[in-house]
Chain A
Amino acid sequence: DAGVTQSPTHLIKTRGQQVTLRCSPKSGHDTVSWYQQALGQGPQFIFQYYEEEERQRGNFPDRFSGHQFPNYSSELNVNALLLGDSALYLCASSLVGTGSPLHFGNGTRLTVT
């Protein structure tokens, strides 16, 4: 049973560029959440997708956007990259309405130079 998979594992971008990160949820899960984890900090909630709609959003600017596909996989897009966007981006999946805990992927390490 595959868990949450994320790609790529590492990425280096330049300030001002755009980036797309991808996530496949754990089999049987229908909800995907994205978190940003800066070095030495706890993860911070970016947004959550269910039924291809953004259900909830954390305190992140509009440069951060996302998408969920009919197969429940998801993308995180970040435009106009800033040095401060350098972080580990974690995807987590769950099954709505069950109270089940989140299952996390291993993350994508984004470095902005």
Chain B
Amino acid sequence: GNSVTQMEGPVTLSEEAFLTINCTYTATGYPSLFWYVQYPGEGLQLLLKATKADDKGSNKGFEATYRKETTSFHLEKGSVQVSDSAVYFCALTSNSGYSTLTFGKGTMLLVSP
């Protein structure tokens, strides 16, 4: 079956530091990959996505590249802000037409001024 493994948090950084959150996956076929972000007390917001190998998703300074050879989709940002503090979820969906997501456990990011 499908599964997603994320690095455990919390990840604690100072403002303007470089961010990497690791994500690896196991899936049959050719899944689409996503990063969602959850701010306190809110639902999930799509941050970025990639639908095929070597695609790079990007949004709001965040980037992730779909690496089929290493089954990874690591999230990166060059300079984090306090407002980036949230929980980040890596997820995948198999291309079966059902759009059901398999999520990792989430990684909390705490950015201090």
Contacts and interface: CB of A to CB of B under 8 A. Distances in A.
Interface of A: 4, 31, 33, 35, 40-45, 48, 55-56, 58, 90, 92, 94, 96-97, 99-107
B103 A42 contact: yes
A104 B44 contact: yes
Contacts of B98: 48, 55-56
27 contacts: A4-B43, A31-B99, A33-B99, A35-B101, A40-B105, A40-B106, A42-B89, A42-B104, A42-B105, A43-B89, A43-B101, A44-B103, A45-B100, A48-B100, A56-B100, A58-B100, A90-B43, A92-B101, A97-B97, A99-B32, A99-B51, A101-B34, A101-B49, A102-B46, A102-B99, A106-B41, A106-B42
A103 B101 CA distance: 12
Interface string B76-113: 00000000000001010000011111111110000000
A60 to B, nearest CB: 13
Contacts of B46: 101-103
B14 interface: no
A101 B44 CA distance: 12
A90 B100 CA distance: 13
A39 to B, nearest CB: 11
Nearest to A95: B99
A94 B34 CA distance: 15
Nearest to B106: A42
B45 to A, nearest CB: 7
Contacts of A42: 4, 89, 91, 103-106
Given A40-B105, A41-B105, A42-B89, A104 B45 contact: yes
B43 A94 contact: no
